[in-house]
Amino acid sequence: MALLLLALVALVGSDSGLRAAALGSGARSAARRHGDPASSHVHRAGRGSWRGRAKFRDDDVSGASTSSILRNAPGPIPGLVEHVDAVSGATKFRLVSFCNRAYWPFLHVATQSVRAAAPDMLPYWTVLVPDEGTAEFVRDKASDVDVFVDDDLRGIVAANAEKFDDTPDGERAERAELRRLMSWRRVHAMHGLLDAGYTTVFIEPDVVFAGDPTNVLNEVLTRADVAVGSDYGRGKYARRHANTKVLVAKPTASAKALFAEWQGAEANEGADGGSTRTERAYLLRTILREGRKRRGSGAVVEVLDETAVASYLSHPADDMDDASNDDGASSLGARGSTRTIERPVMITGGGCDDVNYKLNWLNQAVLRYALPPGPEGRKPLDFEAVRAGCDEATRRVAMRERARRGGKHRREHHRRENHDDEYE
């Protein structure tokens, strides 16, 4: 029923500034640590195959040329809407993610969190994979998740494989091109599903559920056509650090127009000297620069700030004051509206570069928030355990901003109390 409401709300209603996250170096050891019997094959795919490429990111395309070699064709991902139509039934809602075998340890943790925190979403989750072998692997590990084999992606990569030489520079350029290709592909996926009438949520594999996000998504989609995630911050600071680890949209005419524009921008990437080389750059420098409402499409775009989607960078230590409301709960507000929540409903691996530390962080989040507590209760998050592999410097910036905001909140509350006392 909750998902049906989420689908009906439409009818009524990859880390700038961070060290580049790399999954390639530790992916095999991480998979082995998670008991993945196929881990020895993680990095043995042939050239031109996405299946063994773990190191793609939407925010690090250094090494790629300003004129893309690997580029998505304009429009939706071929075959995806037809596949989703065949498995969806009457509920026009879809959760989508990308995964290859090297990313499986992350998706494994994510599926654990969804099963525990939002099991009703599992039948509506489609994971896009690059080949049938990966599809069988994921189906074997998570039979309750729908899998779509993205033949078009494999064709794009295979058709251009010979354009990269076997030198270290050539391999770096190929990895950068793959990251850029995948950064834009999420926008193409959203574009097609929205045009087909689906309320759509995209999450990267390193996003876990800390609670059932249905109410949060319902509420944001009553105010906005589109919502995106953020590294950290609230208000203008969240918008400044917006990202595409989480994308949410309802199939309004405005949202459809926005994503048609967004996916079309890939064809012009690099025309301005490279400033729009990723979908996130276009989000920050074009879509959000115009304010909450886009002039062209008319779409209302909201940023899910750190109170809704947290990360290593933004999640407070358990003993920190969270700038809470008077009732002790933090709030997510848009243009004066507020939503009372006890904790973020999603937590990402943003800010953790090393694959093993990232997995450590995500596992901690799932154990603390999603899974039932053990005999000793819920363990506090251990930030020290992951500090060596995560961006502690940026986390300190985020925590200083949180503390400053909390001090301002307390001062304003104190002034209101004193003002009220004067008139008693």
Average pLDDT over residues 11-33: 33
* Predicted local confidence at residue 170, as pLDDT: 86
| pLDDT of 35 over the 50 cut | no
Rg of the chain (C-alpha set): 21
Q: What is the pLDDT of residues 313-333, one digit of tens each?
A: 999 986 444 443 333 333 333
What is the overall mean pLDDT for the chain? Answer: 79
Q: Minimum mean pLDDT among 90-104, 133-147, 187-201, 316-330: which range? A: 316-330
* Predicted local confidence at residue 155, as pLDDT: 93
| pLDDT of 424 over the 60 cut | no
- 166 pLDDT band, cuts 50/70/90, is confident
- 136 pLDDT band, cuts 50/70/90, is very high
Average pLDDT over residues 299-311: 96
Q: Between 294 and 45, where is the model more confident?
A: 294
- 408 pLDDT band, cuts 50/70/90, is low
- 270 pLDDT band, cuts 50/70/90, is low
Rounded to 10 deg, the angle between the 355-365 and 104-117 helix axes is 10
Q: What is the pLDDT of residues 349-404, one digit of tens each?
A: 999 999 999 999 999 999 999 999 888 888 899 999 999 999 999 999 999 998 98
Contact 332, 339 (CB under 8 A): yes
Place of tokens 């599809």: 135
| pLDDT of 28 over the 80 cut | no
Q: Minimum mean pLDDT among 64-73, 77-86, 135-144, 242-251: which range? A: 64-73
What are the sequence ranges of the domains in the chain? 2-422
Average pLDDT over residues 153-165: 89
Type of residue at 127: V
| pLDDT of 12 over the 80 cut | no
Q: Which range has highest mean pLDDT (69-83, 152-166, 333-347)?
A: 69-83
* Predicted local confidence at residue 2, as pLDDT: 53
Q: Which candidate, 79, 72, 78, 128, places its Cα nearest to that of 264?
A: 72
Average pLDDT over residues 225-250: 96
Q: What is the pLDDT of residues 215-236, one digit of tens each?
A: 999 999 999 999 999 999 999 9
* Predicted local confidence at residue 165, as pLDDT: 85
- 405 pLDDT band, cuts 50/70/90, is confident
For 2-422, which CATH superfamily applies?
Spore Coat Polysaccharide Biosynthesis Protein SpsA; Chain A (3.90.550.10)
Q: What is the pLDDT of residues 87-130, one digit of tens each?
A: 998 999 999 999 999 999 999 999 999 999 999 999 999 999 99
Q: Minimum mean pLDDT among 179-188, 193-202, 284-293: which range? A: 284-293
Taken in order 31, 59, 383, 366, the sign of the CA dihedral is: negative
